[in-house]
Amino acid sequence: MTAPSDFNLTPELDATLVFRVAYDGSSYSGFAEQPGQATVAGELRRAIETLLRRPIDLTCAGRTDAGVHAVAQYISVPVTDAELALTRRRWLRAMDALLPKDIAINEVYRARKGFSARFDARSRTYTYRIADRDARPVLSRGAVWWHRYPLDVEAMSAACPALLGEQDFKSFCKVASAVGKPTHRCVMRAEFGHEVAFGEDILTFTIEGNAFLHSMVRTIVGTLVEIGMHRRKPEWMREVIDACDRTAAGPTAPACGLTFMGVDYDPAELVVLD
């Protein structure tokens, strides 16, 4: 007689489900799971495992720090053929019931076996929002940095070209995270703009890259704000990058203003679930 421990209880995982996730990161200690801490990944795992009634492997496109938000974070979960029978509508309704109200799954895709939300991403895009005025933002306050002082956007824009291309961004990485790890990244886009949210004018900085280091975007923003306050000239950005030293850059901007906006994948890889 075969002992129960001899049975292979691991299901055969034949495909991958990919979820587009939005969240308000204000109440969480970042995306990644941490013992004893409320995290976005922890809540997603709990909800998905409740529906599937089994443990899952969960991979995200990019980890976000405590307090950082997302409009379109992506996670991938290997599933069985039988689990693919769950419809898009069933997933959305179940996740609405099982997730906290500050986390939402907004779309569900089917992908090939072995697809990874992290390793199959071609680029990630973040937007940092700043209210650079003396009037306090009200309805948008949870997703912007209220800077209180007007910034010279022209000067900050003049510094952006130095960020483009593949180079060493060690100056913008949290020191402990850079030890013994590669710090080269490729930035394809870095630009300022404006948008109106709830009737409030907001300054935006959008950056797209193949990947980002720990606190990289927020430290870039803090460095740009030094330029926007005329404490430094636009040419300083090149000096900061070449230094490869965190102490050469500006301060790290607050987490509340940063939002993970999206991920670029090969469109042929993702098919919206029926």
Q: How far apart are CA 75 and CA 63, in angstroms?
A: 10
Question: For the chain, how many residues are written?
Answer: 274
Instruction: Pick out the residues of the known binding site.
Output: 126
CA geometry: angle 239, 172, 41, nearest 5 deg: 165
* CA–CA gap between residue 247 and residue 157 (Å, rounded): 22
Looking from the CA of 124 toward its CB, the CA atoms found within 13 Å total 25
Here the tokens at position 146 are 């209220």
Detail the residues annotated as belonging to a binding site for substrate: 126
CA distance 92 to 160: 39
**What is the distance between the alpha carbons of residues 180 and 84, in angstroms, rounded to a whole number?**
41
201 annotated active-site: no
Distance of CA 99 to the CA centre of its chain: 19
The DSSP line for 201-250 is EEEEEEEEES---TTHHHHHHHHHHHHHTTSS-TTHHHHHHHHT-GGGS-
Residues 45, 105: contact at Cβ < 8 Å? no
3-state secondary structure of 273: coil
Question: Are 111 and 15 spatial neighbours (Cβ–Cβ below 8 Å)?
Answer: yes
Amino acid present at 238? R
Catalytic residue among 6, 14, 24, 65: 65
Q: From its phi and psi, is residue 3 left (phi > 0), alpha (psi between -120 and 50) or beta?
A: beta
| Tokens read off for 166 | 């593949």
Q: Catalytic residue positions?
A: 65
